[in-house]
Structure 1
C-alpha cells in the first residue's frame, strides 16, 4: 500500500543547502558556480522557501532571494518530471505573493520584482543529458512563433561520470554527488545497514565530513524518509501501469466483441442480399443501414 500521505522530513539536499547552520555558505558557493561570480557575504541571502508545493508533503526545494534574483533549486533522484515548468510557475507565483503585499500590486508605480531562475539537479540512475532546458511553452496546445508567457527550467545532471563544470566549481555539490552515489551503492550491497556504512565511508574519505559528523542521526532519518518516498513513487507508477494495462485489455476485449458482432451482421446481410431479400427486411434483421447494405 502506498504511504505517500505521510509527513516527510527534509531531504539531505534541502538540509545541506537551505536548513543546516552552514546552508547559506553552501548555497552561496553553488550560486557562484552557476553564475561565475564571487559573492562572499551570506548576509545578503534571504531564505524564501515555500513548504508543500513542488512535492506535496515531501519538501524538496531550496529558494533564496539574492542579488535581485529568486533562485529556486530542486533535486531529482528519479525520472525528470516534464511538468516542472508548470509546477515552477505555481511556485514562483506563491513566492511573489509572500514577498509583496497585495496593495503594492495596485500602485501606479511600477513594482520592481526579482528575476526568477529555476534549476533541477538530476542524480538518478537513468541516462540523461548533461544539460537540458524545459520550457513551459513546450506544453502549450497551440504553438506559436511568439508566446505571451514563458518559463524555463534548467536541468543539470550532477552524476559524477558526466563531469559537469558545476562539480568542479562547487565543492559542496561535488561531495554531495559522491555521497549520493555512496549511499546508493551501500543500499544495494547491504539493505539493512547500508545508510550507516555509507555515512561512515564518506566521513573516512572526507566527503561532507563536518556535516555528517554533526548530524549523523538526522541524516539517517532523512535518508530513510527519502528512500521511502522514492519507493512510494515507484509503487504508484507500477500501480498506474497495471491499471492502464488492465484498462487496455478490457478495451481491447470490448472492441474485439464489437468488431465480431459487426462482422456477423455483415455476413448475414450479404447472404440475405444474395437471396434477393428486400433492402428493408435486410436492414431490420441485420441492424445495418441501407448505405452499408448497398456497399456490400
Structure 2
C-alpha cells in the first residue's frame, strides 16, 4: 500500500504550496492556517478484502500510531451510475484494452469507444475526447521515458564496468612491457593512456579510474 506514502507526500507538497501562496511564515510563532484534508483513493482492482480505510500505522508500523497517523478512505465504486463507479469501469476497460493492444493509441481509442457505447463517462468523453487521448498518450510517454532512463542507467553501469576491465588489462600490459625494457613514454603511446597513469601503474600506487 505504497499509495498511502504518495498521498502523504502529495499532501505535504500541497500544504507547502498553500502556505507560500498565502504568504504565511512557517518559521514564526503564529499558528499556520491550512486546509483540512480529506484523503481518498479509488481502488480499481479486484481483491477479496475491501477495507473501508487504509492507515499508515497499520500498513507500515504494525499498528503503532504514537507519533504519526494518516487515514485514507478507499472508494471502490458500487456499480451505480455515480462518477466514481463510472471511473472504475473506465479503468477496467482500459486495463483490458492494454492487455490486448499494449500501451498504444489503439488501446486508448478502443477504451473510449467501448465506454461511449456502454454509457460510461460518455458525456465527458464526447466533449473532451481529444484531451483524454492526449493525457493518456502523455502518460504512456512518461512511463516509457522512466523505463528508458532506468535502462540507460543500467547500460551506463555496464559500460563503466567494461571500461574498468579494459583499464585493468592495460595496467597488466604496462607492467609486462616495463619488465621487457620498454620506456614509460613508449608504453603510454602503445596503450593510449597518459604518461602519469603508466608511471602510477608501474610504481604500484595507481587506482584504476
TM, length-normalised to structure 2? 0.52
**Deviation at residue 122 of structure 1 after TM alignment:** 1.8
Q: Secondary structure at the match of 1:153?
A: strand
Q: Secondary structure at the match of 1:131?
A: coil
1:176 aligns with 2:87: yes
**Deviation at residue 187 of structure 1 after TM alignment:** 3.5
Distance verdict in 2 for CA 1:107–1:133, change over 3 Å: same
1:197 aligns with 2:110: yes
Structure 2 Cα separation of the partners of residues 90 and 174 of structure 1: 26
Q: CA RMSD in A?
A: 3.7
Structure 2 Cα separation of the partners of residues 184 and 88 of structure 1: 23
Structure 1 gaps of 5+ residues are: 1-81, 159-163, 238-296
Alignment of 1:76-155 (within 5 A): 82-100=1-19, 101-103=23-25, 106-108=28-30, 110-124=31-45, 127=47, 129-138=49-58, 139-140=60-61, 144=64, 147-155=66-74
CA contact (8 A) 1:130 1:156 kept: no
CA contact (8 A) 2:25 2:32 kept: no
Structure 2 Cα separation of the partners of residues 94 and 194 of structure 1: 33
Distance verdict in 2 for CA 1:87–1:203, change over 3 Å: closer
**Deviation at residue 147 of structure 1 after TM alignment:** 0.9
**Deviation at residue 235 of structure 1 after TM alignment:** 9.4
Considering fraction of residues, name the structure with more helix: 2
Structure 2 Cα separation of the partners of residues 215 and 84 of structure 1: 28
Distance verdict in 2 for CA 1:147–1:207, change over 3 Å: same
For residue 220 of structure 1, the aligned residue among 133, 136, 161 is 133
Instruction: Describe the superposition over 1:188-229 as per-residue Cα deviations: whole angstroms up to 9, x where unpaired.
Output: 345563322332232233222222122222222323334555
Distance verdict in 2 for CA 1:99–1:205, change over 3 Å: same
Between the two structures, name the one with larger relative contact order (CA 8 Å, sep ≥ 6): 1
Considering fraction of residues, name the structure with more strand: 1
Structure 2 Cα separation of the partners of residues 129 and 229 of structure 1: 32
Counterpart residue number, 1:288: none
**Deviation at residue 98 of structure 1 after TM alignment:** 2.2
Instruction: Describe the superposition over 1:109-133 as per-residue Cα deviations: whole angstroms up to 9, x where unpaired.
Output: x444332121111213x53632353
Structure 1 Cα separation of the partners of residues 128 and 83 of structure 2: 16
**Deviation at residue 97 of structure 1 after TM alignment:** 2.3
Matched pairs, number:
145
1:157 aligns with 2:76: yes
Instruction: Describe the superposition over 1:211-266 as per-residue Cα deviations: whole angstroms up to 9, x where unpaired.
Output: 212222222232333455567889999xxxxxxxxxxxxxxxxxxxxxxxxxxxxx
